[in-house]
Amino acid sequence: MDKNKCPKLKIKKKFWKKEKFVTIKKIKVRIQKK
């Protein structure tokens, strides 16, 4: 895949990965608090 062809898709993917990571962290913290 050409990087220059879809920069938006790459940014979206990066953002999604970050969001997923943050969500997992929040869930772990919630579990630890119980």
- Please tell me the predicted confidence (pLDDT) of residue 4: 61
Task: Give the pLDDT of residue 16.
Answer: 85
Query: E-assigned strands of 1-34?
Result: none
The total of structural domains in the chain comes to 1
pLDDT 10s digits, 1-34: 455 667 788 878 888 889 999 999 999 999 998 7
3 touches 10 (CB < 8 A): yes
CA–CA distance, 7 with 3 (Å, rounded to integer): 6
The first and second tokens of residue 13, run together, are 């993917």
Range of the domain at 32: 1-34
pLDDT attached to residue 8 = 82
User: Mapping DSSP to helix (H, G, I), strand (E, B) and coil, where does residue 13 land?
Assistant: helix
Which positions ≥6 away from 3 have C-beta within 8 Å?
10
**The overall pTM is greater than 0.75:** no
What is the predicted pLDDT for the residue at 2?
A: 54
Q: For position 12, what pLDDT does the model report?
A: 83
